[in-house]
């Protein structure tokens, strides 16, 4: 795509293809606040598109070549948009400069003194939420771009001052290699997005290149539990801060949990034990997410007491171990987990909660991920007492791999006969659950697609 440089002293007309996406909508709102003329398209009306329309954007429903008018100065596309898209083709034919969402975000980041990018295969949204609470508690007035709905800011974007920009940085299609951070958080590096990356070594190479995006006086905060993490930061001359278990610069000791799996722990900062901190989110994995947020807060000069207050006030973003309600004595929860390691972490947290039986209703996300990590999915889901599998959510893919949710169910049932069932529709899943759930059970809908609708159907909200 042709390079395009924005001149904020002379705002222009920017078109967003896929303007209703959680990241694209946030960037569109930032440009609106900067005085740009914003238009764009999406497939259907949503809270995000309606909010942008109310803020002054022109939103088209349906992606058509006639949406691309000659007065557009630049068009922004996500990685999901293919060259055959009619708006993409129209921009090419008209010679309208185009850029990726990541390239636009990279340009926006340069306008801030501190640009903090939270990365990793999983845990990004929760850690960004934690650091949002910390920075807001410290009156840092951050601009925030998060990949989920954060109740603290009533959405996925907050426009603040020009000192601090906090964002969630995704590695898919190497989009984070267009960013210009001054501080990076790397939470973990696992095999994922294998429809783009060749293997785990390819992913590690991208994270190494990501560290190379930092300036010489930049800071990288990295989980010491990452396999050979030293290779990821090799050659970087700035500050490296490790977080994690014993021996890390910032570690956690004496971890304990309440009856809802919410942890408390003693942070050990460069060998010195501090006062115990209690989190309002569940699971041991969030202890290590919070260590990264603590490290970032300290680097920003925020007092530890304020950091603690921010962490205690953070109950996470929507769809992160979120209680949706109760029906007939059954607790219904929802979680965004869609990678085996995320599923394992969430279910381990759920196993600490009061319950009779633990049910998980899982919707695999993309055919490529399901095929590549089939056994890992089966192993992680087997932590639950009962497993119900929905059809695969295709997202950007078409089914060319001959894989289905029934394949996961078969692997689970080989070890634990009768534990798993795959059903073809949300309606059939809801009927099955209503017939089999019992008072005292805990049921978690799980996945990155629209499986949350099953929980809403169980609660009579749909």
pLDDT tens, residue by residue, 330-370 = 999 999 999 999 999 899 989 988 899 999 999 999 999 99
Give CA–CA dist 138/243, Å, rounded.
Answer: 22
Percent over 70 (pLDDT), the chain: 99
140, 168, 190, 342: the catalytic one is 168
pLDDT above 90 for 23: no
Q: Over the stretch 298-314, which tens digit does the pLDDT of each residue have?
A: 999 999 999 999 999 99
Task: Kindly indicate the confidence band of residue 379, based on its pLDDT and cuts at 50, 70 and 90.
Answer: very high
Residue 429's nearest CA partner among 459, 399, 392, 388 is: 388
Catalytic residue, chosen from 49, 78, 121, 125, is 125
| 104 occurs within a structural domain | no
Both 64 and 121 in one domain: the answer is no
Residue 461 CB neighbours (<10 A): 10
> Does any domain span residue 8?
no
Residue pair 386/422 in contact (Cβ under 8 Å)? The answer is: no
Same domain? For 25 and 117 the reply is: no
Residue 326 has pLDDT above 60, yes or no: yes
User: Domain containing 245 — which CATH number?
Assistant: 3.40.1190.10
Give the domain range for residue 420. Answer: 322-458
* Average pLDDT taken over every residue of the chain: 93
- Does one domain contain both 282 and 141? yes
Per annotation, catalytic residue among 103, 124, 143, 219: 124
In a domain, 106, yes or no: no
Pairing between strand 263-269 and 272-273?
A: antiparallel
Of 124, 180, 447, whose CA–CA distance to 316 is shortest?
A: 124
Inside any domain, residue 107: no
Of the three residues 99, 130, 150, the one that is the final residue of a domain is 99
Q: Across residues 186-209, what is the average pLDDT?
A: 89
Give the Cβ contact number of residue 43 at 10 Å.
11
125 counts as catalytic: yes
Q: Is 168 a catalytic residue?
A: yes
Q: Please indicate, yes or no, whether residues 277 and 358 belong to a single structural domain of this protein.
A: no
pLDDT tens digit sequence for 402-459: 899 999 999 999 999 999 999 999 999 999 999 999 999 999 999 999 999 999 999 9
Q: How many domains does the chain have?
A: 3
pLDDT at residue 396, rounded to an integer: 75
Q: Does 285 lie in the same domain as 189?
A: yes
DSSP calls for 361-391: EE--B-HHHHHHTHHHHHHHHTTSSEEEEPP
pLDDT at 1 over 50: no
Least confident of 1-5, 60-64, 76-80, 248-252: 1-5
- CA-closest candidate to residue 12, choices 54, 100, 93, 74: 74
Three-state DSSP state, 330:
strand
48 or 22: which carries more pLDDT confidence? 48
**Catalytic residue check, 323:** no
Q: Rounded to an integer, what distance in angstroms lies between the CA atom of residue 231 and that of residue 337? A: 28
Q: Please, are residues 114 and 101 in contact by the beta-carbon 8 Å criterion? A: no
Same domain, 309 and 371: no
Q: What is the pLDDT of residue 259?
A: 81
* pLDDT reported for residue 2: 47
- Segment holding 137, helix H or strand E: helix 124-137
Q: How far is CA 175 from CA 144, 170, 243, in A?
A: 18, 7, 25
pLDDT tens-digit profile of 71-122?
Answer: 999 999 987 788 999 999 999 999 999 999 889 999 999 989 999 999 998 8
Q: Say yes or no to pLDDT of 260 above 50.
A: yes
In terms of pTM, does the model score above 0.85? no
In this prediction, residue 462 carries a pLDDT of 65
216 and 283 belong to one structural domain? yes
């Amino acid at each position: 795509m042709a390079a395009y440089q924005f001149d904020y002293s002379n705002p222009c007309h920017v078109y967003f293809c896929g303007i209703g996406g959680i990241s694209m909508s946030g960037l569109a709102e930032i440009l609106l606040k900067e005085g740009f003329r914003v238009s764009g398209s999406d497939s259907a009306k949503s809270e995000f598109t309606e909010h942008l329309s109310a803020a002054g954007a022109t939103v088209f429903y349906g992606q058509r070549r006639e949406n691309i008018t000659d007065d557009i100065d630049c068009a922004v596309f996500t990685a999901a948009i293919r060259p055959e898209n009619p708006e993409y083709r129209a921009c090419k034919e008209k010679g309208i400069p185009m850029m990726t969402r990541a390239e636009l975000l990279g340009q926006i980041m340069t306008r801030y003194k501190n640009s903090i990018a939270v990365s990793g295969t999983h845990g990004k949204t929760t850690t960004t939420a934690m650091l949002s609470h910390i920075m807001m508690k410290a009156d840092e007035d951050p601009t925030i771009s998060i990949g989920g709905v954060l109740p603290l800011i009533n959405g996925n974007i907050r426009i603040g001052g020009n000192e601090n920009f906090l964002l969630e940085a995704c590695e898919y299609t190497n989009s984070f290699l267009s960013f210009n951070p001054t501080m990076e958080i790397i939470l973990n590096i696992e095999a994922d997005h294998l429809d783009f990356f060749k293997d785990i070594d390819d992913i590690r190479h991208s994270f190494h290149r990501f560290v190379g995006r930092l300036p010489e006086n930049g800071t990288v905060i990295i989980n010491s539990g990452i396999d050979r993490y030293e290779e990821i930061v090799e050659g970087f001359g700035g500050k490296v801060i490790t977080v994690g278990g014993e021996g890390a610069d910032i570690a956690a000791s004496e971890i304990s949990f309440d009856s809802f799996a919410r942890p408390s722990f003693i942070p050990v900062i460069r060998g010195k034990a501090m006062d115990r901190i209690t989190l309002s989110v569940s699971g041991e994995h969030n202890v290590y997410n919070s260590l990264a947020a603590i490290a970032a807060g300290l680097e920003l000069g925020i007092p530890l007491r304020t950091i603690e207050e921010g962490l205690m006030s953070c109950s996470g973003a929507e769809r992160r171990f979120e209680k949706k309600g109760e029906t007939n004595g059954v607790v219904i929860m929802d979680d965004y987990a869609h990678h085996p390691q995320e599923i394992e972490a969430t279910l381990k947290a759920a196993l600490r909660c009061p319950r009779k039986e633990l049910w998980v209703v899982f919707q695999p996300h993309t055919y490529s991920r399901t095929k590549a990590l089939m056994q890992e999915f089966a192993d992680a889901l087997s932590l639950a007492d009962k497993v119900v599998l929905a059809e695969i959510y295709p997202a950007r893919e078409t089914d060319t791999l001959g894989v289905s949710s029934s394949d996961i169910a078969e692997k689970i049932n080989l070890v634990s006969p009768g534990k798993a069932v795959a059903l073809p529709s949300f309606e059939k899943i809801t009927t099955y659950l209503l017939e089999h759930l019992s008072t005292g059970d805990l049921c978690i809908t799980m996945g990155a697609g629209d499986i949350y609708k099953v929980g809403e159907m169980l609660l009579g909200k749909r």
